[in-house]
Amino acid sequence: MKKIFLCSFFLIMALTVTSQTFNGSEARSLIPGTDMIVKDTLLDIPTFIRFSKGSEPAFKDLRAWLKDHFKISQDFDMVHLRSENDDSGFTHYRYQQTYKGYPIHSNVFIIHVKNNRIESMNGQLFGKLDVAATATITEAQALEKAIEYVGANTYKWQLPGEERLLKEITNVLILK
């Protein structure tokens, strides 16, 4: 029991060490119009922002607001994944961040909107990134690595009947 408690305690401590919460005037001094901000010390954009009543930006101005407040590079964009409505009158818009057209794994940002105003937003976004956005391996090399990683003896596409079924299911016609 002591081991579980100690492990849990250290895990919680490790997670809280990388984030800081700012409320009220402290939040407003960082981003005008907010009343709560949570910043991950490893990221340049807060992971949570809640706006003060009466200071909520219009949803239609989302991209401009983000670029103005965080100086996000033109290489970044956000692709709408889906929207969900809840019983409280909120619409939750889920976006995937992209860099030079490529999705950034696990960089999803959720915008919480009520009456066409952004009440809050949370998730992970980068404002700058210094990586190449070009493929470093070919499609054939990627397939080879995937096959090597999975390590199966036989794959469905190698069995004529299974390959035909896969093509029927996915509605793909390949003429030989």
Domain ranges of the chain: 17-123, 139-170
Average pLDDT over residues 39-65: 92
The whole-number pLDDT of residue 52 equals: 95
pLDDT higher than threshold 80 for residue 13: no
The whole-number pLDDT of residue 75 equals: 86
The whole-number pLDDT of residue 156 equals: 78
Instruction: Identify the CA nearest to 94 among candidates 50, 58, 124.
Output: 124
What's the mean per-residue pLDDT of the chain? Answer: 84
* Torsion angle (degrees, nearest 10) of CA 86, 87, 89, 91: 0
Task: Return the half-sphere exposure (C-beta side, CA atoms, 13 A cut-off) of residue 164.
Answer: 3
Kindly report the backbone phi and psi dihedral angles of residue 155, in degrees, each rounded to the nearest multiple of 5, phi listed first: -115, 155
Share of residues in the chain with pLDDT > 90 (%): 41
Residue that is written with structure tokens 């619409």 in the block = 91
Class of the CATH-defined domain 17-123: alpha beta
pLDDT higher than threshold 50 for residue 40: yes
pLDDT higher than threshold 50 for residue 176: no
Kindly report the backbone phi and psi dihedral angles of residue 24, in degrees, each rounded to the nearest multiple of 5, phi listed first: 55, -130
